[in-house]
Amino acid sequence: MEAQSLAAALALVAGGGAGLSPERGAALAASLPLLQRDYRFERVWFWGCIQGVRRAYYIAEGLGPDRAAPRSRLYSLNCLDWSLLTPATKEMLALAEQVKGRFQGDPSFEYSLAEINAEASARLVASGKEPVMKEEARLIATIEQIDRAVGIVPRGAFVKTPLGSVHENRLFEGLSLVEAKKLSSYFHFTNPVNLKNKTLLEKADLDPSTDFLDSLEHDIPRGSWSIQLEKGGTVVVLRSLLWLGLTFYHVPMTKQFGYVYFGTGEKNLDLPFML
């Protein structure tokens, strides 16, 4: 969610119990504008918080002119001092899926892959690498996984130019209340997968400038999203049941929307058996 309107945005998603203490909120309000200035980001989003056993990781994302370009991610343990994270790699993502359990809250903590997955450990040893994974690498991979799986935006909030870059739609005035209650009105804000498999007949009804992302209505497993009206029906809130702690909000007929994550960084693998 936008750093500039963080306090108001957090109030809209507080129905699920997520939020920041007054001290943490004040620290973020002071440090995020400085973060935007120092790194010369065009926009800064507060991504959320991954709660570890000892400490919590507070995550921010920096955006450039092209909103679809890879985002710069930073983490902080005190909401004041920020450290830049490296981009996620395929190897990080594969290893992170093997690691189970809570985060420790220590970026230098090492997970022994020999105890988790002997096959993955043997491959690392054969390639001359140590069979360990630092928690910082797991943090990078987990943020990437959550963004790909449940980072969402309303339909029409962003437009794709003929040159391929993605920008905020200045004509977007929010979804109507009827449209805001439909899963098909929300898109995954990442590279599309299902869109490429659509037939020419299905693509004929799509607007290439706004319908260039995958819709939530085809998410697997079905039923992995909860849609609710809150604040007297003035705010539409979507909560992910796959990544518990991810909350998206949108105020119909306005430009206000965003998502935030407050959780342990663990995927709900039991969801197919719960539906």
Please give the average per-residue pLDDT across 122-140, as a whole number. Answer: 78
Please give the average per-residue pLDDT across 64-75, as a whole number. Answer: 90
Tokens of 33: 């504008």
pLDDT score recorded for residue 116: 62
Last residue of a domain, one of 123, 142, 161: 142
Contact assessment for residue 93 and residue 149, using Cβ atoms and an 8 Å cutoff: no
Please give the average per-residue pLDDT across 116-124, as a whole number. Answer: 64
pLDDT, tens digit, 9 for 90 and up, residues 132-149: 789 999 999 999 999 999
Last residue of a domain, one of 108, 125, 142: 142
Tokens of 172: 């977007």
**Which residues are 262's β-sheet partners?**
49
Give the chain's domain count: 2
pLDDT score recorded for residue 121: 59
Q: Are residues 235 and 195 part of one domain?
A: yes
C-alpha distances in Å from residue 175, one per residue of 34, 97, 179, 182: 33, 36, 6, 10
Q: Are residues 76 and 97 part of one domain?
A: no
Q: Are residues 186 and 202 part of one domain?
A: yes
pLDDT score recorded for residue 117: 63
pLDDT, tens digit, 9 for 90 and up, residues 74-104: 999 999 999 999 999 998 898 888 888 899 9
Last residue of a domain, one of 99, 126, 142: 142
Q: Are residues 95 and 20 part of one domain?
A: no
pLDDT score recorded for residue 186: 94
pLDDT, tens digit, 9 for 90 and up, residues 10-57: 888 887 777 888 999 999 999 999 999 999 999 999 999 999 999 999
More confident residue, 195 or 24: 24
As a whole number of angstroms, the distance between CA 134 and CA 124 comes to 14
Tokens of 5: 């309107």
Banded pLDDT at 128 (limits 50, 70, 90) = low
- pLDDT above 80 for 155: yes
- Type and span of the H or E element at 39: helix 22-39
Q: Is 120 helix (H, G, I), strand (E, B) or coil?
A: helix
Q: Are residues 193 and 172 part of one domain?
A: yes
Banded pLDDT at 274 (limits 50, 70, 90) = confident
Residue 98: inside a domain:
yes
- pLDDT above 80 for 202: no
Q: Are residues 102 and 41 part of one domain?
A: no
Contact assessment for residue 32 and residue 1, using Cβ atoms and an 8 Å cutoff: no
- pLDDT above 70 for 228: yes
When the pLDDT of each residue in the chain is averaged and rounded to a whole number, the result is 87
Q: Are residues 251 and 192 part of one domain?
A: yes
Identity of residue 94: A
Q: Are residues 110 and 162 part of one domain?
A: no
Q: Residue 103: exposed, middle, or buried by beta-carbon count in 10 A (0-12, 13-18, 19+)? A: buried
List the one residue out of 27, 34, 98, 86 whose CA is nearest residue 58: 27
Residue 270: inside a domain:
no
Contact assessment for residue 238 and residue 186, using Cβ atoms and an 8 Å cutoff: yes
Q: Are residues 113 and 81 part of one domain?
A: no
Q: Are residues 126 and 236 part of one domain?
A: no
Residue 106: inside a domain:
yes
**What angle is formed at CA 220 by the lines to CA 229 and CA 240, rounded to 5 degrees?**
35
Q: Are residues 216 and 232 part of one domain?
A: yes
Show the domain range for 80: 3-86+143-265
- pLDDT above 80 for 163: yes
Q: Are residues 147 and 40 part of one domain?
A: yes
